[in-house]
């Protein structure tokens, strides 16, 4: 089977132990992102299966029309709105969903909270430039950590906060509110109350139509001048331009972000602000997560190639994918 792995920025997929599972197949790996469907399709002649690294490439009808041999798309992590599933189904392309772990993004979130609170990046840069102790950060102990979205990742971050002596509060949809209450985490009356109460506010929501732009200018303006806004989930959860404007206005006082509206590259104006700690979407980018994500994605491709597809998002795309017990 001819398989293409897209958007391997670091050229690291071949170094993973799980890559050996694809032995015997014709595999190509692309190390850069192509926004033009025609340009991308020109590099994928005869490709029968795509392996996607999260949401780095959008699978549109225009792209699918240029890939006549394509039969399957295997997603690392859960398939999301970056894939036009209806268009895939119409063309008989089976979409295979993967699995993941909340550990890596939760750990990165906490690393950003501590690094921003103690102004670590600035102090490290100052030390390299020959300056000693140029700022005054603060501890997190005794302060309030707000979690917007108490799902698997938010729950882990809440645990880190408790371990560091923080008061944890949350707000979210009904299911996550119930989970928080079961864990003894106070659920505030509104999202606005959560932003106003938090010394550190961390966003942990999936990007779906209902959550796009869920964080607006009013929420950010409710934060205090010494508070920290953290987003390691999706940039699109925030109204476009709202975080940049809020930081320039002084509420919140700091931000730590791992996600951007345009990736790769990020928002140059936001990244340039001195009160912003920015990282290049590292949430799940570490070896253990990659072995898990790609291992599952490769297994899904192999099962499809063997005629026994599993983890199928759109079983109606193919008679084989719709077989009992295969979804």
For 115-130, the pLDDT digits (tens) are 999 999 999 999 999 9
| Rounded-to-integer distance, Cα 247 and Cα 70, Å | 45
| Rounded-to-integer distance, Cα 11 and Cα 255, Å | 30
With a cut of 70, say whether residue 322 has pLDDT above it.
no
Looking at residue 195, its pLDDT comes to 98
With a cut of 90, say whether residue 323 has pLDDT above it.
no
Choice among 107, 236, 263, 286 that is catalytic: 263
With a cut of 70, say whether residue 298 has pLDDT above it.
yes
Looking at residue 277, its pLDDT comes to 98
| Rounded-to-integer distance, Cα 55 and Cα 125, Å | 32
With a cut of 90, say whether residue 191 has pLDDT above it.
yes
Share of the chain above pLDDT 70, in %: 97
Strand stretches in 197-257, DSSP E = 200-203, 228-231, 254-257
b/e per residue 42-61 (b: at least 16 CB within 10 A): eebeebbbbbbbbbbbebee
Q: What is the pLDDT of residues 62-119, one digit of tens each?
A: 999 999 999 999 999 888 889 999 999 999 999 999 988 999 999 999 999 999 999 9
261 alpha-carbon distance from chain centroid: 12
CB 310 within 8 A of CB 327: yes
| Rounded-to-integer distance, Cα 162 and Cα 117, Å | 16
Looking at residue 172, its pLDDT comes to 85
pLDDT band at 292 (very low <50, low <70, confident <90, very high): very high
pLDDT band at 320 (very low <50, low <70, confident <90, very high): low
Element housing 155 (H / E): helix 152-163
Q: What is the mean pLDDT of residues 317-327?
A: 49
| Rounded-to-integer distance, Cα 20 and Cα 23, Å | 5
Domains and CATH numbers, the chain: 2-100+287-317 (3.40.50.720), 103-278 (3.40.50.720)
Residue 82 known to be catalytic: no
Q: Which residue has the tokens 């699109």?
A: 236
Looking at residue 54, its pLDDT comes to 85
Residue 58 known to be catalytic: no
DSSP state of 225: T
Choice among 143, 155, 234, 251 that is catalytic: 234
Q: What is the pLDDT of residues 245-258, one digit of tens each?
A: 999 999 999 999 99
With a cut of 90, say whether residue 230 has pLDDT above it.
yes
Residue 141 known to be catalytic: no
Q: Which residue has the tokens 């102990």?
A: 141
Q: Which residue has the higher pLDDT, 305 or 321?
A: 305
With a cut of 70, say whether residue 324 has pLDDT above it.
no
Share of the chain above pLDDT 90, in %: 87
Model confidence pTM above 0.75:
yes
| Rounded-to-integer distance, Cα 187 and Cα 180, Å | 7
Choice among 143, 155, 179, 281 that is catalytic: 281
Query: Three-class SS of residue 61?
Result: helix
């Amino acid at each position: 089977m001819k398989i293409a792995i897209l958007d391997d920025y670091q050229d690291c997929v071949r170094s993973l132990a799980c890559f050996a599972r694809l032995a015997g197949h014709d595999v190509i790996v692309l190390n850069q992102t192509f926004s033009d469907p025609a340009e991308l399709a020109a590099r994928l002649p005869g490709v029968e299966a795509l392996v996607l690294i999260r949401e780095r490439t959008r699978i549109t009808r225009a792209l699918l029309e240029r890939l006549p041999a394509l039969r399957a798309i295997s997603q690392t992590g859960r398939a999301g709105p970056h894939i036009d599933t209806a268009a895939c189904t119409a063309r008989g392309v089976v979409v295979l969903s993967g699995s993941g772990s909340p550990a890596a993004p939760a750990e990165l979130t906490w690393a950003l909270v501590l690094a921003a609170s103690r102004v670590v990046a600035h102090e490290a840069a100052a030390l390299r430039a020959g300056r000693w102790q140029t700022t005054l950060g603060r501890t997190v102990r005794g302060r309030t950590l707000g979690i917007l979205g108490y799902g698997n990742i938010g729950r882990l971050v809440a645990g880190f906060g408790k371990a560091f002596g923080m008061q944890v509060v949350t707000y979210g949809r009904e299911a996550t509110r119930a989970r928080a209450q079961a864990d003894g985490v106070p659920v505030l009356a509104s999202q606005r109350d959560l932003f106003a109460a938090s010394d550190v506010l961390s966003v942990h929501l999936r990007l779906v139509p209902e959550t796009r732009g869920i964080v607006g200018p009013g929420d950010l303006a409710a934060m205090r001048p010494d508070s920290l806004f953290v987003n390691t989930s999706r940039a699109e959860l925030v109204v476009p331009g709202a975080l940049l404007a809020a930081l320039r206005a002084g509420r919140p006082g700091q931000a730590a972000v791992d996600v951007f509206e345009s990736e790769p590259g990020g928002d140059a104006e936001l990244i340039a602000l001195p009160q912003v700690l920015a990282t290049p979407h590292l949430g799940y980018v570490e070896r253990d997560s990659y072995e898990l994500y790609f291992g599952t994605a490769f297994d899904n491709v192999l099962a499809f190639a063997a005629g026994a597809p599993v983890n199928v998002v759109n079983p109606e795309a193919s008679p084989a994918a719709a077989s009992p017990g295969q979804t």
